[in-house]
Amino acid sequence: MGKIAFLFSGQGAQYPGMGQELARVSPAAAAVFAMADTLRPGTSEQCFTGTKEELTVTSNTQPDMYAVELAAAAALTEAGVEPDFLAGFSVGEVAALGFSGAVSREDAFRFVCRRGELMQAASDEVSTGMCAVVKLSPEQVEALCAQAEQVYPVNYNSAAQTVCAGLSTSMPAFRESVKAAGGRAIPLKVAGAFHSPFMHSAAVGLRPLLEQMRFQTPRYPLYSNLTARPYEPGQFQELLSAQVENPVRWQAIVEDLARNGVDTFIEVGPGATLTGLVKRILPDALALNVENAETLNAALAAVKG
């Protein structure tokens, strides 16, 4: 077996009850939820018993996702599985940041709470939508976006899947143009046009908090969504602010991890979206996910034997 990367889930994978089993079977996971509840009372209850509607509100989704992802990663390390690299999708990058030790878990949690608030506010400013485009190359999607009114590629997920965001009024015509080009556009149930210019106010709003945070060298190399490369000293403030209004280059991240010797990818947090993307990008890689007791045990068996 080669190197291991922990992948931290992105927004949209949340669901009622997430993290509850992990807190029950892992003291390290339970400690993460206790930390979150101290800083944001009710976080664990929202994860465990909140409704789908509650969890979909961005200002709730992001701190809740952070807690579950960090809990899953803590459960793995508690059981003796250490990563060689870290990467997170969108909000997952913040959970990876807290896990990496570049800042304290508490400071990263405070940051994700503010990030969720600002991105929620930006989403409320204008009516927008998102869709996943499949069966077209990223270059084809970019060309179609360039012809549309304020529609942008925002997640480069794989060679055949690019997520786009734009004005609600522009999305129907954009989806028709995708269909005419031989692709398929699948509307996404999300609260805003994340990783697009519509998030500029959130990016600006995060800068004062980032300037107050003190960063240090992470314990594990941590990938940036913006550059698709590990963070270098002095980059954290700039890239974490810019991340919210620029595309996530997920395929490039996974491919670079493979070039660095990673052949085992463990998604930590709700769902298995990133696990599926890894399998599409690197069919021969071992891709696992950890979100509850069953998947934790399965991952431990696969990695430790």
CATH of the domain at 108: 3.40.366.10
Which residues are designated catalytic?
A: 90, 195
pLDDT reported for residue 191: 73
> Which residues 6+ apart lie within 8 Å of 26 measured at CB?
71, 74, 75, 78, 79, 296
Residue span of the structural domain in which 163 resides:
126-188
Same domain, 14 and 158: no
Residues of the chain above pLDDT 70, percent: 100
Q: Indicate the residue among 168, 188, 208 that finishes a domain.
A: 188
Same domain, 13 and 87: yes
Same domain, 180 and 287: no
User: Quick check: 55 pLDDT over 90?
Assistant: yes
The answer to whether the beta carbons of residues 171 and 127 sit under 8 Å apart is no
Same domain, 158 and 114: no
Q: Model confidence over 168-205: pLDDT tens digits?
A: 999 999 999 999 999 999 998 777 899 999 999 999 99
Q: And the tokens for 133?
A: 């485009």
Same domain, 85 and 232: yes
Mean pLDDT of the chain: 96
Q: Indicate the residue among 188, 210, 226 that finishes a domain.
A: 188
Q: Model confidence over 98-144: pLDDT tens digits?
A: 999 999 999 999 999 999 999 999 999 999 999 999 999 999 999 99
Q: Looking at the 3D structure of the chain, how many domains does it have?
A: 2
Distance (Å, rounded) from C-alpha 192 to C-alpha 33? 27
CATH of the domain at 166: 3.30.70.250
Comparing CA positions, the residue from 250, 278, 236, 299 lying closest to residue 73 is 299
Same domain, 104 and 208: yes
Same domain, 98 and 243: yes
pLDDT reported for residue 192: 85
Same domain, 92 and 223: yes
The answer to whether the beta carbons of residues 251 and 281 sit under 8 Å apart is yes
